[in-house]
């Protein structure tokens, strides 16, 4: 039996319709959601993402700015720019595209973003809020994963979720969100012994390591939900996940494709966060 496809693109489109209606309501009350995306340097993959984010803003009628800065921009200049957007009432969300050039300290930049405009959910205060269960802007990719599960009827409550990867942007926050949704959560990484065996315990398996096609059918419990967060660019230019999709297809019960799975949800959750930040800004 072949797994059911989790169609991130379709689910994402229908959430964007919901967001659009809410954005129109907010605009009728005089508040236009606004997002600024700041890109330092010329990373080609980043260029694509930034363009997609600007397109999403346009589609939803948001105010949006894209700031493209040369790779030589100093940390001080970037921090000053962020300071200006922190004080700019037209802008409800500030996103600085990562990774940054090596001479700029990522942490200093993330810390400089006003927490109420932190639509990436990367600021230490946002992370702390998530940890203790306070209302906050959630990191986009992890929030997208939870939406995909809920909207396909795969409620994490009572399930064993195994997360492969422990990054601050995906692994750790997605584990925390799954815990909040009442899953039993195991976090694995490169030092985990018998990784395939642990993965095979999962009712919900989330792969977020950045190793192309790492997860094979032996890693998957028959019928499990497999969520592939990987975005690996292969030498031929094609996008590929952390899961060997073709190998796993007949074992998994549900599976996200790459592209068309988690990726589109990330941008949709960014739009949802910007809307939320705009709504809150009215006081």
Ligand X SMILES: Nc1nc(=O)c2c([nH]1)NC[C@@H]1CN(c3ccc(C(=O)N[C@@H](CCC(=O)O)C(=O)O)cc3)C=[N+]21
> Catalytic amino acids?
53, 97, 120
| Minimum distance from residue 218 beta carbon to ligand X (Å) | 25
Any binding-site annotation on 25? no
| Minimum distance from residue 56 beta carbon to ligand X (Å) | 9
Residue given tokens 């992890």 in the structure block: 142
| Minimum distance from residue 22 beta carbon to ligand X (Å) | 21
Q: State both tokens at 204.
A: 């919900």
Which residues are near ligand X by CB under 6 A? 48-49, 52, 95-98, 120, 140, 231, 239, 258-260, 263-264, 266-267
Contacts of 25 (CB under 8 A, 6+ apart): none
Alpha helices in 181-261 (DSSP H): 195-199, 245-248
Nearer to ligand X, 31 or 259 (CB): 259
Report in angstroms the alpha-carbon separations of 185 from 86, 181, 202, 250, 262. 36, 10, 9, 25, 20
DSSP-derived secondary structure for 101-150 = PTTS-HHHHHHHS-GGG-TT--SHHHHHHHHHT-S-PPPHHHHHHHHHHH
Nearer to ligand X, 120 or 181 (CB): 120
| Minimum distance from residue 196 beta carbon to ligand X (Å) | 25
CB 59 within 8 A of CB 19: no
Any binding-site annotation on 151? no
Nearer to ligand X, 165 or 263 (CB): 263
Q: Please, what is the end-to-end C-alpha distance for the chain in angstroms?
A: 52
Report the 10 Å Cβ neighbour count for 3: 20
Q: State both tokens at 271.
A: 């739009």
Any binding-site annotation on 16? no
| Minimum distance from residue 48 beta carbon to ligand X (Å) | 5
Phi and psi, residue 182, nearest 5°: 70, 30
Any binding-site annotation on 166? yes
| Minimum distance from residue 270 beta carbon to ligand X (Å) | 7
Taking CA 216 as the corner, what is the angle to CA 227 and CA 193, rounded to the nearest 5 degrees? 90
Helices and strands (DSSP H and E) totals, the chain: 10, 11
Pick from 76, 113, 120: nearest CA to 98: 120
Nearer to ligand X, 96 or 187 (CB): 96
Q: Return binding residues for NADP(+).
A: 165-167, 231
Q: Return binding residues.
A: 165-167, 231
């Amino acid at each position: 039996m072949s797994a059911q496809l989790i169609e991130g693109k379709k689910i994402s489109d229908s959430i964007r319709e919901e967001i659009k209606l809410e954005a129109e309501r907010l605009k009728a009350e005089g508040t236009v959601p606004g997002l600024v995306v700041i890109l330092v340097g010329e990373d080609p993959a980043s260029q694509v993402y930034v363009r997609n984010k600007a397109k999403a803003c346009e589609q939803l009628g948001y105010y949006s700015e894209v700031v493209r800065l040369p790779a030589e921009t100093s940390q001080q200049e970037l921090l000053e720019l962020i300071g200006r957007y922190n004080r700019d009432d037209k802008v409800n969300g500030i996103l600085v595209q990562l990774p940054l050039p090596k001479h700029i300290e990522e942490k200093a930049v993330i810390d400089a973003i006003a927490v109420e405009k932190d639509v990436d959910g990367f600021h230490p205060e946002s992370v702390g809020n998530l940890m203790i269960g306070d209302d906050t802007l959630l990191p986009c990719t992890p929030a997208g994963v939870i939406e995909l599960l809920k909207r396909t009827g795969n409620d994490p409550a009572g399930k064993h979720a195994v997360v492969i990867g422990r990054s601050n942007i995906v692994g750790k926050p997605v584990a925390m969100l799954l815990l909040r949704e009442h899953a039993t959560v195991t976090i694995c990484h490169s030092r985990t012994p018998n990784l395939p065996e642990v993965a095979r315990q999962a009712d919900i398996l989330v792969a977020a390591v950045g190793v192309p096609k790492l997860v094979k059918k032996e890693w998957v419990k028959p019928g499990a939900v497999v969520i592939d967060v990987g975005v690996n660019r292969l030498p031929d230019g094609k996008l590929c996940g952390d899961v060997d999709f073709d190998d796993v297809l007949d074992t998994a019960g549900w599976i996200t494709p790459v592209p068309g799975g988690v990726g589109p949800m990330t941008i949709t959750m960014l739009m949802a966060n910007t809307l939320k930040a705009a709504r809150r800004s009215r006081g």
